[in-house]
Structure 1
Amino acid sequence: MKEEDVDVSVRAIARCGAGTNNIPVDRMTELGIPVFNTPGANANAVKELIVCGLLLGSRRVIDGINHMTSLGEQGLAKERVEKDKALFGGREIKGKTLAVIGLGHIGASTARDADALGMDIVGYDPGLSIEAALKLPREIELADSIASAVSRADYISLNIPYIKGEGGTHGIIGKDVISHFKDDAVLLNFARGELVDSDALKTFLDGDKGARYVSDFPDDVLWNHENAVVVPHLGASTGEAEENAAAMAAETIREYLENGTIRNSVNFPDASMPERDENTIRITVVNKNMPGVLAEITQVFAQGNLNIVQQINHSRGDIAYNVVDIDPTTGGGGLELHELQKKVTMLEGVLSSRILWGTAGAGTGYARNINGEYWV
């Protein structure tokens, strides 16, 4: 998605999936447009493919299938099958150690299922929340760094977001981290292709000591490596995952449009205010996170003699979000609703505003401050 794809009337953007690297999030933030994702909606689908990846990385199933196809074409399958199966030996995953890097929805689910399969689990997640921790298997051992986690692992599952820029996660699995891998470690990447330094990993795989790479993303370096299995981004490609993500995205947008509620946004603060009384009017305001703006917003209501019934003001980085319920019966300043919205929207630092009234936000008014010009 590019900025020119976003019409001036767009209130919000929802991504059916966790990753938003195909959306110009920083620019949307500057424009005052919340971007939502659907964390966890496809977690089970991706987790199941990771479990499949564990097996693909431990048993040369794909190589064996391709070999049988070749023998079948020659009419030699029955004659050679017992002799040639020795070419595709493997190992069992029970009793082996899995390092799970990132313990969110997918990582925690992967850890639980791998534990049920008899694997030992080592986890690493510097941002581990209490909610996520409660979903982990009791026997999990938490490491204090990626290097520490992978150093004892037979299998490594990447489950972290891709973040560009300084301090981000681009190429986080590079030469330094790979140097801590066991010689026969299997790396599973069902998170993002850009997390892995392909050249460094190729050097590791060239050692041909049993190491494997199973990835759900195209790779210009490793696409035909004999120790790599590249899957065409099938992680969330199930009917169930697509339905879950679409339903979550639709519900998130509905809550935002009708009630001003923000949850699962990657650029706006979470915000939820109690249900609005049917006789009140709810106004949401998006502004730059700078001193004095909130005071000026409330001053506009005061000038109209409007009583604020309830309000919240939350901020995240450079953006602030306000939800204000007013009692229209208290107004005696002669300020019409459309005039009130214009005054609020055109305050310095304000990016946009919405007015919600009636049942379930049946009435809405959207206005933006675009470089000092009022758009409604």
Structure 2
Amino acid sequence: MGPVARALLLENPHPDADPILSRAGFEVVRHPGALGEDDLIEALAGVDLLGIRSGTQVTERVLDAHPGLTAIGAFCIGTNQIDLRAAARRGIAVFNAPFSNTRSVVELAVAEIIALTRRLTVRDKAMHAGTWDKTSSGSHEVRGRTLGIVGYGNIGTQLSVVAEALGLRVVFYDTAEKLALGNAHRTGSLAELLAVSDIVTLHVDGRPGNAGMFDRRQFEQMKHGAAFLNLSRGFLVDYATLREKILDGSISGAAVDVFPNEPRGNGDPFESELRNLPNVILTPHVGGSTQEAQENIGHFVAGKIAKYANAGSTDLAVNLPRLSLPASDSARYRIAFVHRNTPGVLALVNQTFAEHGANIEGQILGTLGEIGYVVTDISSELPREAVAAVSEMEDTLRLRVLARPGSSDADEDE
């Protein structure tokens, strides 16, 4: 009997992930918080699958220490906390949950837009301090006001539709070509959006080029008295300038869910220049933290990493070509082969199998940048010499042999 396959889950993904991984043959180990680099390297000993959320950094140093890791599941939307290229070069697939918490983030944004526009935080604080201050000063309906959405992806588009239903006029800006939904209007530049928006909300991804995209220049382009939301990435925004603009009244309020440096675990101290400011809502990165969203994410990501580990499927993978070869009853082995995207690799692989008498039942190939991925089903015996020959090819990054139903051989990783 070979070693027990293990899955390590950090940062408390939904418990529904556990039975999915258990049924796929993995022993599940949990740790409630994020882990630093050294602790993560130690914790990954003997682990095949890693599940994290946004607080754990999976660096190239971590991957160097554990190149035999099979897959990483990000139980969240973002994957900027993972070195995706380094993972791909080691044949480690990365999956996230790009759609599962969209509605939860949208609902939080809508709630905060209304709260900021009505200055509910100020009214609430006064009441808790024992002061009755009934006034309409600074309070507005959202109906008829202009919402500027920066980033028109999954969250931005759904927010656009819901906001229109509330009577908001929607404008958006995105660097990619996007179809406007409903009556939303695309602006030609970010500056144009900022000049007309009563509320500005960020919903862009975590690519390095977006770091620092919203600084003093952008805040000074906003309408006087506009509100600002960031439920996207903490490193996008100059929060020191946001503090200044709130204190001088240029910005009427802000809602912030993400920060450049976030505590690793619940109960850890939180520091920010945005604390104790009027009409500012601060939340601890909970945009997608509803029971419904976390349950959906737990099911989705656990299923994806288990299916890659056991069947080689990369459907919706972040860093490898997206392939899914249907199962064949007559196939005895499945070869999952990650390689450098070099011309002639597939021909050489098939020639090697043929020369050693292996019969190819089915096959699919895809490429993504510098990476190629081939899934091959073999219906005959699989000569070890063929596996060794392919494993030793110059362009081979990783080869896994997955035993199919009816085969008595254990899975191998070359």
Which TM class, normalised by the smaller chain length?
A: 0.7 to 0.9
Is 1:4 aligned to 2:62, yes or no? yes
Aligned counterpart, 1:55: 114
Bigger-Rg structure (1/2): 1
Number of positions where the alignment pairs a residue of Structure 1 with one of Structure 2: 344
User: Which of 158, 172, 184 is matched with 1:140 structurally?
Assistant: 184
What SS does the corresponding residue of 2:104 show, helix, strand or coil?
A: helix
Q: Which amino acid aligns with 1:181?
A: M
Q: In structure 2, list runs of 5 or more residues that go unmatched.
A: 1-56, 261-271
Q: Distance in 1 between matches of 2:359 and 2:276?
A: 68
Deviation at 1:262?
Answer: 1.0
Which residue does the alignment assign to 2:16?
none
- Please, which of 245, 255, 277 is the counterpart of residue 204 of structure 1? 245
Residue in structure 2 matched with residue 344 of structure 1 by the alignment: 390
Structure 2 counterparts to residues 1-376 of structure 1, below 5 A: 1-2=57-58, 3-4=61-62, 7-71=66-130, 77=131, 81=132, 84-86=133-135, 89-128=138-177, 133=179, 137-164=181-208, 168-218=209-259, 220-328=272-380, 336-359=382-405, 365-368=411-414
Which structure 1 residue ranges, 5 or more long, are not aligned? 72-76, 330-335, 369-376
Q: Deviations over 1:193-222 (max 9, x none)?
A: 111122333343343145322111247332
Q: What amino acid maps onto 2:217 in structure 1? A: D
CA distance in 1, matches of 2:103, 2:187: 24
Q: Which moved more, 1:186-195 or 1:85-94?
A: 85-94
Preserved contact between residue 99 and residue 155 of structure 1 (Cα < 8 Å): yes
Residue in 2 aligned with 1:372?
none
Aligned equivalents of 2:138, 2:244: Cα separation in 1? 23
- Using the aligned pairs only, state the percent identity: 31
Distance (Å, rounded) in 2 between the aligned partners of 1:21 and 1:361: 39
Contact 2:358 2:383 in 1 (8 A): no
Using the TM superposition, give the Cα deviation of residue 271 of structure 1 relative to its aligned residue in structure 2, in angstroms: 1.3
Aligned partner of residue 305 in structure 1, secondary structure: coil
Contact 2:331/2:361 (<8 A) preserved: no
Q: Is the 8 A contact 1:258 1:361 kept in 2?
A: no
Q: Cα–Cα, structure 1 residues 360 and 280, in superposed 2: closer, same or farther, change >3 Å?
A: closer
Distance 1:321 1:305 in 2: 22
Whether the aligned pair in 2 keeps the contact of 1:345 and 1:367 (CA below 8 Å) is: no
Q: Distance in 2 between matches of 1:360 and 1:180?
A: 66
The offset of 1:362, in angstroms, is: 9.2
The letter for the 1-side match of 2:174 is: D
- Cα RMSD of the aligned pairs, angstroms, is 2.5
Residues of 2 paired with 1:360 and 1:263: CA distance? 25
| TM superposition shift of 1:248 | 0.3
Give the drift of 1:350.
0.9
CA distance in 1, matches of 2:277, 2:407: 56
Distance in structure 2 (CA, Å) of the matches to 1:304 and 1:11:
27
Higher relative helix content = 1
| Per-residue CA distance 1:269-304 (angstroms, 9 max, x = gap) | 211233334335321101122344333322211211
Q: How far has the Cα of 1:224 moved from its partner?
A: 3.1
1:85 counterpart SS class = coil
